Structure 1
Amino acid sequence: MTSPALTHSALCDTAKKWLTRSNSQRGHGCHVALSECRSGWGGEMPDAIGYRSISSTVPRTETVVVEVKVSRADFLADAKKPHRADGEGMGLYRYYMCPEGLIKPEEVPPRWGLLWVTARGNVKPILGPVALSNNCGTFDAACLEWQHARNTEREIWLLVRVMARIDDPDKVKNTINAALREQKRLSEIVVTQDEKIRKLQASQVMQSFEPVSSTELLVAIRRKTNPTSTPQQRQPKQLQTQEMTMPDAKPIQPVEVVRDPSGYFCHPSFQWDHLTTYEDIRKWFADHKLEHVIVSMQDQLDADEYEARLEADNHDADGWNPKPPDDGPWFILSIHCADDGPCCVMAKPALSEAQRVA
């Protein structure tokens, strides 16, 4: 029985996403992918089809068809369809996609590929060019033996019908470009306003200090550099030196990690934003005498599990429990989303110079 997550509709969406994967990700790198589109009255309706334009000495277009099967009966009946005759169907390259193990490799017709989908939703190439090569340098050579004679007229017809649904492609493109430009403009305004707020807050902090006259400042300096017969002069020299030393920053203590619905967390003492520089962060750790390390979810999760999260468009950190690099007294400062996905900042008290030597 098919898993609820591996329905025909769900696998069609999976096939559509797979078609646009690059060769390095075991895909065909199609520029356009469609699913469940009729190619004419009573004609072939591929579960998913991808179009790929290739720029070379002789520009050409390749098509890839994926037929989704979630039952044995559907697979066995597929061979009887009229568009399965040589030269009648669509797709220069053709694949069957099914739940893992439903179709055996030896049952697949000549020059057809086979894609299994695991219970986690990962696509596993079994037959076809993508099962032989994930290197763009060798991929074209691996493809030659898997090509079909195809009905290019039907493929073009399908594209025209899809374009007709859009009404005015240029208008849609211009609308999207205008929206992207507006998004960029608003982002720049947000950054500018954020910088103004930071400066205003800094100004308010400075104004909160009581003003000191130049005379008072001079007197304070003289007391420090040339003390007279004051109680401070009679204090031990070591104590005077300690008083002139800047006090250490308040130690950062571990707190209970309470994560939000997306799995993210930030220690109350570890508050940074997108304007904070790496030098600011390094100085903060040094001032608080902390060592730190950054671990990523991609490095710690099982490869199949991580890929399944990407397939499901889940870019949050929920369900991931970051692991420290060793058995030291590490505690979590932040779980947040970085350019490479969720990551975690951990810290522990830094060793003193004497401890390092020992």
Structure 2
Amino acid sequence: MPSELHEELSRIGAAWLRRNGFGVVANDLTVLGCRERADVIGFRSQCSVTIESKVSRADFLADRKKPHRTKPGIGLYRFYICPAGLITADDLPARWGLLHVDGKRITEVVRPRGNIWPGPKANIAGWAEWQHETDLDAERSVLFSISRRLASGQPITK
């Protein structure tokens, strides 16, 4: 069961995605057909973003070894969110962004420049350097789960 801090980081990450133009945002979804359980996922018309909340260094180091971190997974763009100072830019795997939280304040430590968020293989202003290979079947499963929950009146964020 995630800690209160983990859940708070996920809520802050979801709000950050909404401020960045992601109209469909969900957190802590377990989805049939998807081996990943994203702490936060957001969708725009052309792309998706996954945010992984980390409250300890050990959790971060273990996360980097998961198979879907090196193979296609969910999230064209991927970020870690953590308390300020827990993870540094030098710790990050290639093409990952980093968000630090201090209280309710979020600092974008590492991320692409601007608010373009282009789709796959679109190299606008260097954004292709940040893109990951996605598992489109898994992302479709996530979107179906979100749609089903919305249709039945269930919440998609906590």
Instruction: Give the TM interval when normalised to the shorter protein.
Output: 0.7 to 0.9
Q: Compute the displacement of 1:40 (Å).
A: 2.5
TM-score w.r.t. length of structure 1: 0.38
Aligned counterpart in structure 2 of residue 18 of structure 1, from 8, 16, 19: 16
User: Structure 1: which amino acid aligns with 2:139?
Assistant: E
Name the counterpart of 1:63.
48
Structure 1 segments of 4+ aligned residues over 3 angstroms from their partners = 166-169
Structure with greater Cα Rg: 1
Aligned counterpart in structure 2 of residue 30 of structure 1, from 15, 22, 32: 22
TM-score w.r.t. length of structure 2: 0.83
Higher helix proportion, which one? 1
- State the secondary structure of the residue aligned to 2:25: strand
* Separation in structure 2 between the aligned mates of residue 98 and residue 9 of structure 1, nearest angstrom: 11
- State the secondary structure of the residue aligned to 1:94: strand
1:133 aligns with 2:114: yes
1:9 aligns with 2:7: yes
Aligned counterpart in structure 2 of residue 153 of structure 1, from 129, 137, 140: 137
The C-alpha deviation readout for 1:189-228, integer Å capped at 9, x for no partner, is xxxxxxxxxxxxxxxxxxxxxxxxxxxxxxxxxxxxxxxx
Task: Structure 2: state its 5+ residue gaps.
Answer: 118-122, 154-158
Identity of aligned residues (%): 40
Q: Compute the displacement of 1:147 (Å).
A: 0.6
Q: Compute the displacement of 1:162 (Å).
A: 2.1
The C-alpha deviation readout for 1:265-294, integer Å capped at 9, x for no partner, is xxxxxxxxxxxxxxxxxxxxxxxxxxxxxx
Name the counterpart of 1:124.
107
Task: Structure 1: state its 5+ residue gaps.
Answer: 22-26, 54-60, 170-358
1:97 aligns with 2:109: no
1:52 aligns with 2:44: yes
Q: Retained in 1: the 8 A contact 2:97–2:110?
A: yes
* Separation in structure 2 between the aligned mates of residue 42 and residue 166 of structure 1, nearest angstrom: 19
- State the secondary structure of the residue aligned to 1:163: helix
Q: Indicate the RMSD between aligned Cα atoms, in angstroms.
A: 2.5
- State the secondary structure of the residue aligned to 1:150: coil
Q: Compute the displacement of 1:79 (Å).
A: 1.4
Name the counterpart of 1:43.
35
The C-alpha deviation readout for 1:80-138, integer Å capped at 9, x for no partner, is 21211232x110000000000000110100000011111x3111011121xx33589xx
* Paired residues for 1:72-111 under 5 Å: 72-87=57-72, 89-111=73-95
Alignment: residue pair count = 147
The C-alpha deviation readout for 1:46-75, integer Å capped at 9, x for no partner, is 00000001xxxxxxx200000000100100
- State the secondary structure of the residue aligned to 2:47: strand
Q: Retained in 1: the 8 A contact 2:29–2:38?
A: yes
